Amino acid sequence: MISLAYRDISNSFGRYLLTGIGLGLLIGVTLTMAGVFRGMVDDGKALLRYADADIWVVQQNTLGPFAEPSSLPDNMYRGILAIDGVRQARNVAYLTLEVSHGDHSVRVMLEGTDTQQNLIPLTAGRPIMRSHYELVADERSGFKIGDRIPIHRHDYEVVGLTQGMRSPSGDPILFLPLKDAQEIQFLKDNDAVFRDRKQLETNPKLNPPNNPGLLDAVEQNLFSNHRVNTVLVQLMPGANPRQVADDIEKWLRLTAYPSDEMEEILIGQLIAMASKQIGLFLVILTIVSAAIVALTIYSMTQTKLKEIAVLKLIGTRNILISRMILLEAIGLGLIGFLTGKLAVTYWAPLFPKHIVMLPEDTFRALLITLVICILASIAGIRAALRIPPGSAIGG
């Protein structure tokens, strides 16, 4: 038996293929949106993964350090270490800024941490060994080993590279010594320091003639920084994270989140708005895709109404005609899906945002595409079945 769908597609393959490719680009956009959403979730989780902390300790009554600002004295970790069940505690400072190297400018998140522990997994180069002015950069920043990156007053040499280290906003992370990060975070420019010093000097209470050391002490305190954004805690085996977090909150008047609660803050709250927006875009795109497929299939049927009437008149069963329309719709969906998948594969790296395509998302997209095509073909099939065979006779 002659396959009506195969013959019809072969007869106008160019037009069919172009329609499929057009649909594929739309599917590609839909897949990209899903990939952006997955990327945001992955970015949030990546931070938690490499931080490898059981508890995040932040300023009291804040959702810090990412959802809200959080500032702690950098000696607070000593008190935390004294809490029962705590094995290790380390200070971390985060700040986001734009850094440039030559013509290359990129938004990054700086993470100041205790570099003695060498916790960062490297893909190239070496860990930070000096106490100042060295950094490890995520590959996505575009920096290379040996690059000297000017940040505020100092140049920092890239000594190592790492991969997949991103902030919850998707910015690549630069790791550097904690002291450097603290300095960058709070360091004032020369003019501001000069003006502040002038102001202090003219204040008789801070610069009394009989106590020349007071001004130095005030200035030293004012122009240095001893604060961090969070303390990451690792627990002893068997310790209950919620119990230890409660103890930290009770005794140190801080807020402590076990890692699952921090994940909820990062994924559930920080990107909740963005994910809702992307979710809505996905729904709209899916509806638009479905409408376009339905219209395309319907139009394809409308262009051959007379032929369908003749087919019915000469005795072709409805099932053969329906199968032709259904197979053409599924074929269109498959071409569209393949085009979309290929498009995403090639254009995803061009996006500044991290795009993650999970196999289950791809499979789900294929399934949704096929379901949409099958449903869309119903409109065409209904139109075809409504044509009376007698319409082939007469004018």
Binding residues for other proteins, rule CB under 8 A, total 26
Is 292 a binder of other proteins (CB under 8 A)? no
Closest approach of other proteins to the CB of residue 330, in Å? 17
The Cα 243–Cα 61 span in angstroms is 18
Closest approach of other proteins to the CB of residue 11, in Å? 4
Is 304 a binder of other proteins (CB under 8 A)? yes
- Specify the residue, 123 or 318, whose C-beta has the smaller distance to other proteins: 318
- Specify the residue, 134 or 328, whose C-beta has the smaller distance to other proteins: 328
Closest approach of other proteins to the CB of residue 142, in Å? 53
Closest approach of other proteins to the CB of residue 288, in Å? 29
Q: Which range in 19-27, 114-122, 264-272, 305-313 contacts other proteins by CB under 8 A?
A: 305-313
Closest CA relative to residue 374, chosen from 260, 268, 294:
294
- Specify the residue, 247 or 307, whose C-beta has the smaller distance to other proteins: 307
Q: Which two tokens stand for residue 9?
A: 């597609």
Q: Are 336 and 376 in contact (CB under 8 A)?
A: no
- List beta partners, residue 93: 112
Closest approach of other proteins to the CB of residue 375, in Å? 25
- Specify the residue, 268 or 390, whose C-beta has the smaller distance to other proteins: 390
- Specify the residue, 33 or 325, whose C-beta has the smaller distance to other proteins: 325
First to last CA, the chain: 31
| Residue-wise burial string across 12-27, b where 16 or more C-beta atoms lie within 10 A, e elsewhere | eeeebbebbbbbbebb
Binding residue for other proteins, selected from 306, 367, 382, 385, defined by CB under 8 A: 306
Is 319 a binder of other proteins (CB under 8 A)? no
Tokens 């604060």 map to which residue?
227
Is 313 a binder of other proteins (CB under 8 A)? yes
Is 274 a binder of other proteins (CB under 8 A)? no
The Cα 214–Cα 175 span in angstroms is 36
The type of residue at 249 is E
Q: Is the N-terminal amide bond of 65 cis, ω within 30° of 0?
A: yes
Is 307 a binder of other proteins (CB under 8 A)? yes
The Cα 334–Cα 328 span in angstroms is 10
Closest approach of other proteins to the CB of residue 10, in Å? 7
Is 329 a binder of other proteins (CB under 8 A)? no
Letters for 374-393 (x = contact with other proteins by CB under 8 A, - = none) are: --------------xxx-xx
Tokens 């004032």 map to which residue?
188
Run of H or E including 103: none
Q: Which range in 42-50, 150-158, 299-307, 343-351 contacts other proteins by CB under 8 A?
A: 299-307
* Backbone conformation region of residue 311, classed left if phi is above 0, alpha if psi is from -120 to 50, else beta: alpha
The type of residue at 230 is T
Q: Which two tokens stand for residue 231?
A: 């303390």
Return residues touching other proteins (CB under 8 A).
1-2, 4, 7-8, 10-12, 304, 306-307, 310-317, 388-390, 392-395
